[in-house]
Amino acid sequence: MEGAELLAQMRLNGAVPRHIAIIMDGNGRWARERNLPRPLGHRSGMKAVREVVEGAIEAEVEVLSLFAFSQENWQRPLLEVNALMSLLQEYIAREADELDARGVRVRILGDLSRLSPGAAAAAEGLMTRTAGNQRLTLNLFISYGARAELVRAARLLAGDVRDGRLALEDIDEDTLSQRLYTSDCPDPDLLIRTSGEQRISNFLLWQVAYAELYMSPVLWPDFTRRHLYEAILAFQARDRRFGRVPV
Ligand code: FPP
């Protein structure tokens, strides 16, 4: 089926996922298959980001969360780390006008203290500029790890208890959720991972508790909005029970 047909089918089926999270994997393999240096795989991956953002807007998804750089990725060769950081800055410089015009609210989430001053300033600028947009929230996770996010939330809770802002007995799932980077988003309904790997890799561990998992064999640079729509159609065919039995 063509993209437009898939989109029409999706609308016929009814509800689309409110929040889609994606582990974008396979840039390195895509480059290797073409005898290209790895950074060129990431550059092609940036085009796929653009494509999927467009697809999410067309599908009327509310939140799109993309795992762009993990805490572990800092251990890659310096050349590759630098290439990824400059790609982030290039993405922001090239896409800011279009994202803003399309009504996308961009949030860059993770340990931003490790970014270069230039990249951090660009990230802050884009977040401030698009803060009032409402069509799609695009969460870009950079220098992010879910365990570190949970440790951060635990520290915030402990600080609030210590300073008398929160009673110990008021610590529950809600008060913890409110201290995650995603506090104002619904949890992901659908988690997609590309390139055939079947792992969560420390992405949004708390938030994906009830997400449907969709593993695609496609390498990230080849992922198009058609693949996104296929994932949404597969999601619509799933039977989500949240641990309950059908009534
Ligand atoms: C995983 O592929 C991908 C990454 C570590 C980086 C993701 C980055 C992008 C898609 C481009 C930049 C995006 C923005 C928004 C600036 P891999 O390198 O682990 O691939 P491999 O497993 O095949 O080696």
Residue 7 is assigned to a structural domain of this protein: yes
How far apart are the C-alpha atoms of 227 and 192, rounded to whole Å? 10
Choice between 131 and 3, residue whose per-residue pLDDT is larger: 131
How far apart are the C-alpha atoms of 41 and 82, rounded to whole Å? 14
Taking residue 118's Cβ as centre, other Cβ atoms within 10 Å add up to: 12
**Counting atoms of ligand 1 from 1, which one is nearest the CA of 87?**
16
Ligand 1 neighbourhood includes 142 CB (under 6 angstroms): no
Residue 154 is assigned to a structural domain of this protein: no
**Tens-place pLDDT, residues 144-173:** 999 999 999 999 999 999 999 999 999 999
Ligand 1 atom 16 nearest Cα: 88
Angle at 76 between CA 73 and CA 81, to 5 degrees: 80
Q: Mean pLDDT across the stretch 188-196?
A: 98
Note the residue count of the chain.
Answer: 247
What percent of the chain is predicted at pLDDT more than 90?
A: 94
Where in the sequence numbering do the catalytic residues fall?
Answer: 25, 73
Residue 223 is assigned to a structural domain of this protein: yes
Residue 191, classed as helix, strand or coil, is strand
Residue 175 is assigned to a structural domain of this protein: no
**Counting atoms of ligand 1 from 1, which one is nearest the CA of 32?**
23
The predicted pLDDT at position 240 comes to 77
- In DSSP terms, 70 is beta-bridged to 144
**Tens-place pLDDT, residues 59-99:** 999 999 999 999 999 999 999 999 999 999 999 999 999 99
Sheet holding 190-193, edge to edge: 104-109, 136-144, 63-70, 19-23, 190-193, 212-215
How far apart are the C-alpha atoms of 169 and 108, rounded to whole Å? 32
Type of residue numbered 142: I
Residue 183 is assigned to a structural domain of this protein: no
Total of domains in the chain: 1
Ligand 1 neighbourhood includes 42 CB (under 6 angstroms): yes
Residue 100, classed as helix, strand or coil, is helix
How far apart are the C-alpha atoms of 68 and 83, rounded to whole Å? 13
Residue 165 is assigned to a structural domain of this protein: no
Note the pTM of the prediction, 2 decimals. 0.96
The predicted pLDDT at position 160 comes to 98
How far apart are the C-alpha atoms of 121 and 115, rounded to whole Å? 9
The predicted pLDDT at position 247 comes to 66
| Residue 70: domain span | 3-146+191-236
The predicted pLDDT at position 14 comes to 87
Question: Residue 246 pLDDT more than 80?
Answer: no
Q: Mean pLDDT across the stretch 203-211?
A: 98
Residue 228 is assigned to a structural domain of this protein: yes
Average pLDDT, rounded, for the chain:
96
Residue 60 is assigned to a structural domain of this protein: yes
How far apart are the C-alpha atoms of 43 and 65, rounded to whole Å? 19
What CATH number corresponds to the domain at position 25? 3.40.1180.10
Taking residue 148's Cβ as centre, other Cβ atoms within 10 Å add up to: 15
Q: What angle, rounded to 10 degrees, do the helices at 3-13 and 38-59 form?
A: 50
